[in-house]
Amino acid sequence: MESENRKVILSGIQPSGILTIGHLAGALKNWVDLQTQFQSYYMIADLHSITARQVPAELRQRTMETAALFLAAGIDPDKSVLFIQSHVPQHSQLAWVLNTFTGFGELGRMTQFKDKSERHPENINAGLFTYPVLMASDILLYQADLVPVGEDQKQHLELTRNLAQRFNFNYSDTFKIPEPYIPKIGSRIMSLQNPNVKMSKSDENVNSCIFLNDTNEVIINKIKRSVTDSDAEVRFDEENKSGISNLMTLYHLATGVSFEDIEKLFVGKGYGDFKLAVGNVVADWILPVREKFNEIMKDKNRLKEVLEYGAIQAQKVAYKTLDKVYKKVGFVRF
């Protein structure tokens, strides 16, 4: 991997389900572009995923599938460090130190904790509460300059910045203060069945999501069944026509055609024609990713080698940061 002195980015995705078109549009597509400009660290965030109960065999399978989808989407292990979070123990070690710098009230104000607690009242665990501190350690370990995050993670990144500044103030400059990277279009792909909420791989309704391993037929049928309004005009209006606007976003991402030109293309045409067109272009867009994914999953040994190499590279950088932190807080180092 290239070792030139470039700014650093870090991001990750939990292996709690097969990745969706939202991950491709809002994360992976941008990561591929960013890896040519920045020193990139991309992780499968398996430590984060166990804040919800997982079936062990399924978690292992999803972890490998997520890594394969990263590669299939264009993440290049010669340009980026690709690794599994739990393979780098410094993440958990730094998180413990940062826990002692984090206020109980700060974590209690995290909207994701509130939302997940309401949705899963049977499993409100301490890991779910301190999740943002582990996320902060993920970022700060690699001295990240830039963190590609969705709107729903901005609050966590702000906590990361606060913790870095707090630690630096107490002990001298140790951490870089990271900045967010949020793409303007495609960062939020909405549910096909409820276009007022973000598409989620954990949604119980499989028709609400387009998964990256869905066949062309499945993709087209899901888009045909997507929820829209009673009007028949293809027009971008997120407030009043959220379903159609979501489909227009998918069409734009798959083809590069502007929203204005999409409206012109479908003047006088009904939603049936529009949905079929969206289904076809989206299926064509995902096809090479799915084919590459299937190819990678057939060679598990090669995938294992890539992840082992990535973990070694990540540990080298993570150890340097953790060693500085341990010295500054007063731990004995030999």
Distance CA 181, CA 37 (A): 13
Annotated catalytic residue within 176, 201, 222, 241: 201
Distance CA 163, CA 99 (A): 9
What count of Cα atoms within 13 Å lies in the side-chain half-sphere of residue 190?
20
Residues near 6 by Cβ (< 8 Å), separated by ≥ 6? 37, 38, 39
Annotated catalytic residue within 116, 176, 222, 275: 116
201 is catalytic: yes
Annotated catalytic residue within 7, 29, 176, 198: 198
CB 42 within 8 A of CB 9: no
Tokens (6 digits) for 146: 């830039």
Looking at the chain, list the stretches that DSSP marks H as alpha helix, in order from N- to C-terminal side.
Answer: 21-23, 29-34, 46-49, 56-73, 90-99, 104-108, 111-119, 126-141, 154-171, 216-224, 242-255, 259-265, 271-297, 300-329
Distance CA 130, CA 292 (A): 36
Q: What is the CB neighbour count within 10 angstroms for residue 108?
A: 10
Phi, psi angle pair for 82, to nearest 5° = -110, 125
Return the active site residues. 116, 198, 201
